Structure 1
Amino acid sequence: MELLKHDDVTRKIIGCAMRVHTALGNGFQEVIYQRALEIEMALDGLAFEREKEMPIYYRDVEIGTRRVDFFVSGLIMVELKAIIELEDVHLAQSINYLEAYNMEIGLLLNFGSKSLMFKRLLNKKFKIV
């Protein structure tokens, strides 16, 4: 079985998210899960930045900024949701962020359902700089 890129880090992040969801369940606002995940990832020794503001460019012109929930180990973008069900629009939004920030790997975590939901995302337009 082929390992996915940065699988060790994504597994650690998902493990942290599972511990948070087990402890809190569903029904809280996204910011509550974000704060709990921050504590859990720090305890697990993961290096991360929370709510890092990043510029968005169009044709090399900065047109705005967006804050991503977490950048982990400088490798993985993590976007949180606290909604009943993930829809295609949430997946598309997260992939757009990956492309805008030129990040190769992302995780979309949803704490709003009875079980933690997660999607591993791959930026097919990723460029090594």
Structure 2
Amino acid sequence: MDREQYNIITGIVIGASIEVHRELGPGLLESVYEACLTEELASRGLKVKNQVFLPILYKEKALGKNFKIDLLIEDEVIVELKSVEKLLDVHEIQLVTYLRLANKKLGLLINFNVPVLTKGVRRRINGIL
């Protein structure tokens, strides 16, 4: 996937997130935003997977435990959703770790608990796009 394709996908995800936020407003549970955003993204023609298991490997050994990625878009872009008062460094670190462990290039961290959604969006890159 090239840079332009990533930009198109993230543009659609951010636009859909703005629409969900406009409809619902801030202050709801993350699971509500996840369900609504999944529906909105599917209606816009994107392939969306929810709660994708990412196996924990330690020194190349599977431990039978998993991380869960909130959304995986087009099998390429990880989207981590939050509904918190403030995004913390640990939230961004979590996304970067998921990108590295899943061998994905691009991720979005979206906090719905803000007055203006664009203030709650962070884009992170793993490696070079």
Same fold (TM over 0.5): yes
- Unmatched segments (≥5 aa) in structure 2: none
Shift of 1:124: 2.6
Match of 1:16 in 2: 16
Could you list the per-position Cα deviations for residues 70-108 of structure 1 after superposition, in whole angstroms to 9, with x for gaps in the alignment?
A: 110011011000011111111111111111111111110
- Unmatched segments (≥5 aa) in structure 1: none
Runs of 4+ off more than 6 Å: none
Residues in 1 aligned to 2:27 and 2:86: alpha-carbon distance in whole angstroms: 12
- Greater helix share, 1 or 2? 2
> What is the TM-score with the length of structure 2 in the denominator?
0.90
Shift of 1:54: 1.6
Residues in 1 aligned to 2:39 and 2:73: alpha-carbon distance in whole angstroms: 13
> What is the TM-score with the length of structure 1 in the denominator?
0.90
1:99 correspondence with 2:100: yes
Query: What count of residue pairs does the alignment treat as equivalent?
Result: 124
Residues in 2 aligned to 1:83 and 1:6: alpha-carbon distance in whole angstroms: 26
**1:109 aligned partner, one-letter code:** I
Query: RMSD of aligned C-alpha atoms?
Result: 1.7
Could you list the per-position Cα deviations for residues 23-77 of structure 1 after superposition, in whole angstroms to 9, with x for gaps in the alignment?
A: 1110100000001101100110111111111202121012320111111001101
Using the TM superposition, name which of 117-126 and 89-98 deviates more.
117-126
% identical aligned pairs: 31
